[in-house]
């Protein structure tokens, strides 16, 4: 039963990250030559966010880890002005929170 909970939390964390990244891509464009591989950045964000979710199970801490991870990804991987990056991230996380409340 514990393995099923771990797989479910891994899957839901991955889907949450995927939806957030796709929402950010609506507002920003990827850099032509990122310094770090996008897959590496996304994997690190996913694992950190899952670790926080699974071990601490605090919604505010999970939101903070997702926000900080996506903020770092915005800085490393996307082009645009800082205000536009922050606005895209805020819109993305707001949509994420609203969709979680609806579901």
- The pLDDT tens digits for 75-89 are 999 998 989 999 999
Closest to 27 measured CA to CA, from 83, 85, 97, 77 = 85
Q: What is the DSSP string of 54-71?
A: HHH--HHHHHHHHHHHHH
Per residue in 38-56, pLDDT (tens digit) is 999 999 999 998 899 888 8
The pTM score is 0.82
Alpha-carbon distance of 69 to 74, in angstroms, equals: 9
């Amino acid at each position: 039963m514990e393995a099923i909970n771990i797989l479910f939390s891994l899957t839901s964390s991955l889907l949450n990250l995927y939806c957030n990244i796709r929402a950010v891509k609506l507002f920003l464009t990827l850099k032509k030559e990122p310094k770090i591989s996008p897959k590496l950045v996304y994997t690190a964000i996913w694992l950190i966010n899952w670790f926080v979710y699974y071990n601490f199970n605090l919604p505010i801490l999970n939101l903070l880890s997702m926000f900080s991870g996506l903020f770092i990804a915005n800085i490393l991987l996307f082009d645009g002005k800082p205000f536009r990056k922050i606005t895209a991230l805020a819109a993305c996380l707001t949509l994420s929170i609203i969709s979680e409340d609806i579901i």
